[in-house]
Structure 1
Amino acid sequence: MSAITVTLLMIITAYLAGSISSAILVCKIRGLPDPRTSGSGNPGATNVLRIGGVSSAVMVLFFDMLKGALPSYLGYKIGLDAASLGFIAVSACLGHIYPIFFGFKGGKGVATAFGAMAPIGGDLALCLILTWIVFVLLTRYSSVAAMATATLAPFYTWWLDERFILPVAMLSTLILIRHKDNIGRLRIGKETKMTRKKSIKKPKT
């Protein structure tokens, strides 16, 4: 089987894996509102945090990252070149953004993109996580943290392992494009800050 055929099969597989919406499935299993019609309307970990709390959001984050990491890591292990790995990773993100199993209405692909970058190395994964956490703590905006991390990711990659600059740059560009609406809301002060579901206190009896 030729490298082109393998790459095409991997691209299709990555898209189908990306199309499995962790947010929708976790919310359905846990009896939570549909994230496409609740909160911000975005079926991703941040919105699930708002409507379902920390544990549900962590589950979504883990599975969203996993569906980006697995196709990229498999492509790397079978020896595909950097450009092919980039297309596979982007395909997984496009599956998350436009899921064929859920009416093509998906999330922004941030966790899936970062998951696809993570197999490059633990040092890169650590840089991405720390950058995201720092910007969330400084701004309280998940969108700002995601865009800042995406912007810095190619520079981290150049520093740590320049072989993968191309696929990382492809993923970072996709993340930034997906946040154009957030940029507009930030400019007019209408972007929602990152919060978690508040527990409802029962009245004393």
Structure 2
Amino acid sequence: MMNVIYILFSYLIGAISFGIVMSHLFSLPDPRTIGSKNPGATNVLRTGKKLAALLTLLGDALKGTLTVGLAQYFELSPLMVALVAIATLLGHIFPIYYGFKGGKGVATAAGILFMFSWVMGFTVLAIWFGVFMIWRYSSLAAIIAGSLSPVIGFFYEIDFYQLIASSIIALILILRHIDNLKRLINGTESSFKDKK
């Protein structure tokens, strides 16, 4: 029963959208009504408020760090830690507080991966940053870094359930970026090439 409660707790923490919270605090437009209509850090950045975008990024990432970190601290089973990770990500993507319409999960996934293995987390982050700096597409960076995360996890010998969770997270991230992938192929995806 406690396991079910903790999974539910993780989902509810994941369902807090810092993009929406920060937009309200900074008196910005609701990110669900502008740009990509995604309540994530990249879309908040499109408002021009870098601090709000940074706080959104950190808040969304810390959700994954908090829930998985607590599961590890209380020595829940490896399977439970993996389920907590997935529940947190699904909370971010399908938040009960906002009509089950949430973000794409990149920052929250990053926070989770850091708790699986900080070396793995930094490696995935480095790949994201490298791809972004070369091509200036946040979505492309997320797709590539997310796709490679299970391979990186295998290389760093994370446990079996974390590896399965990483694979599921990678699949979820790819599915959440299908529209972005289509726009990348068509050459219509929004980039940061011309942004200062």
TM-score (norm 1): 0.88
Contact 1:82 1:167 in 2 (8 A): no
Contact 1:17 1:67 in 2 (8 A): yes
Following superposition, the deviation at residue 6 of structure 1 comes to 2.9
Counterpart CA distance in 2 for 1:167 and 1:181 is 23
1:180-200 Cα distance to aligned partner (Å, 9 max, x none): 1111111211111137977xx
Following superposition, the deviation at residue 88 of structure 1 comes to 1.3
After superposition, the Cα gap between the structure-2 partners of 1:196 and 1:41, relative to the gap in structure 1 and judged at 3 Å, is farther
Q: After the TM superposition, which residues 1-205 of structure 1 pair with which residues of structure 2 at under 5 Å, given as runs?
A: 5-163=1-159, 164-194=162-192
1:71-109 Cα distance to aligned partner (Å, 9 max, x none): 111112222333322221111111111111122221101
Contact 2:14 2:95 in 1 (8 A): yes
Greater RCO (Cα-Cα under 8 Å, separation 6 or more):
1
Q: How many residues align?
A: 194
Structure 1: runs of 5+ lacking an equivalent: 199-205
Contact 2:93 2:104 in 1 (8 A): yes
Which residue identity is paired with 2:78?
A
Counterpart CA distance in 1 for 2:71 and 2:79 is 11
1:124-177 Cα distance to aligned partner (Å, 9 max, x none): 121121111001011111111001111111111111133131121121111111
TM-score (norm 2): 0.92
- Farther-moved stretch of structure 1 (32-41 vs 162-171): 162-171
Counterpart CA distance in 2 for 1:194 and 1:85 is 36
Contact 1:53 1:196 in 2 (8 A): no
Contact 1:27 1:52 in 2 (8 A): no
After superposition, the Cα gap between the structure-2 partners of 1:194 and 1:49, relative to the gap in structure 1 and judged at 3 Å, is same
Counterpart CA distance in 1 for 2:137 and 2:166 is 23
Larger Rg computed on CA atoms: 1
Which secondary structure state, in structure 1, belongs to the residue aligned with residue 33 of structure 2? coil
Which residue identity is paired with 1:66?
L
RMSD: 1.7
Structure 2: runs of 5+ lacking an equivalent: none
Which secondary structure state, in structure 1, belongs to the residue aligned with residue 47 of structure 2? helix
Counterpart CA distance in 1 for 2:165 and 2:182 is 27
Contact 1:54 1:196 in 2 (8 A): no
After superposition, the Cα gap between the structure-2 partners of 1:76 and 1:67, relative to the gap in structure 1 and judged at 3 Å, is same
1:18-70 Cα distance to aligned partner (Å, 9 max, x none): 11110001011001111000121110000011113321111000000011111
- Farther-moved stretch of structure 1 (135-144 vs 118-127): 118-127
